[in-house]
Structure 1
Amino acid sequence: MEKLIIGIIGAGRIGRLHAEHLTRNGRADIRIISDVYVTDELRGWAAGLGIAAVTDNYKDIMQDPEIQAVFICSSTNTHVPFITEAARAGKHIFCEKPISLDYRQTAAALEEVRQAGVVLQTGFNRRFDHNFKRVRELVQAGRIGDPHLIKITSRDPAPPSSDYIKVSGGLFMDMAIHDFDMARYLSGSEVTEVYAQGAVLVDPVIGELGDIDTAVISLKFASGALGVIDNSRKAVYGYDQRVEVFGSEGSIGVQNDHPTTAEISTKDGVVRDNPKYFFLERYHDSYIDETRQFIDSVLNGQPVPVDGNDAFQAEKIAYAAKVSLTEGRPVKLSEIEVSVG
């Protein structure tokens, strides 16, 4: 069986998650994992997965002629230079979202990828969720006619640390960017206008750091459809991930995943489990599926299911949302002049 030889840059939470899933894929061979902090614990963890080489120098991956693909799981500020180096080294690329906090830098990185002729897949894992995939399939099949309204609810169970907020790029780029991608994915249409309203209702520290923790975002699509996204950094009942697409011939809705479907009904009410609490739990299977499809695409010479342009478009929407919030007005995507290829 042909295997894809892989190097992983970044051994934090998401890098380790991908490594653990890749080692269970019979078509993947992790040759090296790199991180700026190499500890005995990291070496022991890697050895337990059968990863022979651990390094604090990512160039060991870039310069290894046998490595065919690079998983970029490092901090966002490193993505563009790493993509550029990997592309110039002729290596295929899987990069976590966002590619950068500046869509213009992303455009430059994607031009490097285009010129090198390598594959780049972006880590929008929600596209691989079984529920959202089914909604997309039904919309594409015309089961609800023409989409008129796309509603997305995305609420985290608890806000991240202040240290994370400082480098996250803000709610629109860090959190809502998944929803911007989902809006394009479910509607099958490009966003043409964004109007964002935001507030600090969860943690005043977030506001002191120049960000918001609660938002409602209105979208207009090229198809004429409308969209609404609501975000919160804190839903006390768990990880709240719901979508609905309403169309001319009906609607499709997806509710939250729960640990079990058991319900207890008594005279006092009907009770069931809270939604799954954390994104790693909620999207466990989608993380596995996105890496599997990346490997299959590279080895079979097929297009990846979510590419660099998808990341670029979501970043432009996030940028437009930030402008909208700052200036208190709707912002057309046509105001964002840079385009990809």
Structure 2
Amino acid sequence: MRTDHGLQVVRFGLIGAGRIGAMHARNIARRVPGAELMAVADPREEAARALAAQYDAKALDVDDLLKDPEIDAVAITAIAAAHSELIVKAAQAGKAIFSEKPASLDLEEIDRAIAAVKQAEVPLQIGFNRRFAKDFAQAKKVIAEGGIGTPQLMRSITRDPGWPAGLSNAAGVRPWTIFRETLIHDFDALLWLNEGAEPVEVYTKADALVAPQYKKDGLLDTAVVMITFDNGAIATAEANFSALYGYDVRAEVFGSKGMVTAGRHASSPLVHYNAEGLQQQTLRSDEEMFADAYTEELIEFAAAVRNKTTPSPGGEVARRALRVALAAMKSHEESRPVQLKEFA
């Protein structure tokens, strides 16, 4: 048994060599104690080879990676549509599984994935990174300790960075991305911050305001979703794909005894005062805002693999957030409030 920093080494295979995959590869290889990147797989063989070469890892196809007896755990960072099938395959191969969100794009698929994980008795963790950010975790602690009383109003925001020329990749944004791949983070955060409560109704307003010329192709780039909980709390989740001032992710919970907020705009406390007023540098990407959170979630996952414990958030948590996303989609399609009981 090989150790690192006194920890038994967890040997990872990574599936998906895109931007997020490259970031996770770097964290596994450089920032997670007791972890080693053994192999990379991607349908684009050149991308897999290039990423693997950076960390002296092997470039394999998916089947060979899952069969490799040297690999203990799999990090799934492929396109969202492939996540649930890869979870099933990894479970059947007996691998511990870390999967980027969303775990699936529909309930039937996620139920199949959860069943496969249970049958194989392997750990599964989903990459809802906000839970691992220090400010979000502290907000959760304050709420759990009664610091804001009973939640009444909640808000979660995701505004992706934009460009003056507009949404440059609008043609490549898949229909429903804003709900199942972007706002899924917000839905999870709201459910997590309002622990013990269940969402009962969802109402959506959405449009293509950033790139209206792609609306006919199914693009929605701006959305607000209102969620009513059974404890009376009313929450809004909003997203937009073109914040010119940078990457903007925040949460707010207002209650009977106070309020707590998480998230920030600035990349540094430095404020420049000059004749034009005040200037401050802002965050420009998820990797910048959540650098520590992306690392911490993998540290927790590796510890669960090493100690044979159940990591969190798991498949059932991902299913709860997906139900809200699907209800939001239906609300948009039918222009009406949707009851969560419509999605078993």
Mark yes or no: TM-score above 0.5: yes
Specify the alignment match of 2:301 in structure 1: 294
Deviations, residues 216-257 of structure 1 (Å, cap 9, x unaligned): 111111222110122111111111112111111111123414
Contact 1:94–1:120 (8 Å) recurs in 2: yes
1:261 and 1:272 in contact (8 A); partners too: no
Q: Could you tell me whether the CA contact under 8 Å between 1:148 and 1:247 is conserved in 2?
A: yes
Kindly indicate whether residue 149 of structure 2 is the aligned counterpart of residue 172 of structure 1: no
Query: Please, which of 104, 107, 111 is the counterpart of residue 103 of structure 1?
Result: 107
Secondary structure of the corresponding residue to residue 175 of structure 1: helix
CA contact (8 A) 2:153 2:254 kept: yes
What is residue 3 of structure 1 aligned with on the other side? 9
How far apart, CA to CA, are the structure 2 residues paired with 1:284 and 1:160? 25
Change (3 A) 1:220 1:117: same
Amino acid at match of 1:176: L
Aligned to 2:220: 212
Within 1, Cα distance between the matches of 2:246 and 2:216? 25
Q: Is the CA contact 2:176–2:218 (under 8 Å) kept in the aligned structure 1? A: no
- Most deviating of 327-336 and 151-160: 151-160
Structure 1 pair 326–169 and aligned structure 2 pair: CA distance change class (3 A):
closer
Runs of at least 5 residues in structure 1 that lack an aligned partner in the other structure: none
Counterpart-to-counterpart distance in 2, 1:163 and 1:103: 27
Identity of aligned residues (%): 35
Structure 1 residue 160, shift from structure 2 partner: 6.0
Runs of at least 4 residues off by over 6 Å: none
Provide the rounded CA distance (Å) in 2 between the counterparts of 1:268 and 1:303. Answer: 54
Matches within 5 A, 1:223-302: 223-265=231-273, 269=277, 271-302=278-309
Change over 3 Å in CA distance of 1:114–1:255 after alignment to 2: closer
Name 1:84's counterpart in structure 2.
88
1:37 is matched with 44
| Distance in 1 (alpha carbons) for counterparts of 2:102 and 2:183 | 11
Give, as a single letter, the amino acid of the residue that structure 2 aligns with 1:127: R
Q: Residues 52-80 of structure 1, C-alpha deviation per residue, up to 9 Å, x if partnerless?
A: x112x211111122322111111222222
Q: Which residue of 2 aligns with 1:26?
A: 33
Distance in structure 2 (CA, Å) of the matches to 1:218 and 1:35: 37
Structure 2 gaps of 5+ residues are none
RMSD of equivalent CA atoms: 1.8
Amino acid at match of 1:182: A
What is the one-letter code of the residue matched to 1:315? L
Q: Tell me, what secondary structure is at the counterpart of 1:136?
A: helix
The answer (yes or no) to whether the contact 1:243–1:253 under 8 Å persists in 2 is: yes
Determine which of 305, 316, 325 is the counterpart of 2:332: 325
TM-score for both structures, normalised by structure 2: 0.91
Question: How many aligned positions are there?
Answer: 332
Query: Residue 66 of structure 1 aligns with which residue?
Result: 70
Structure 1 distance, partners of 2:294, 2:212, is 33
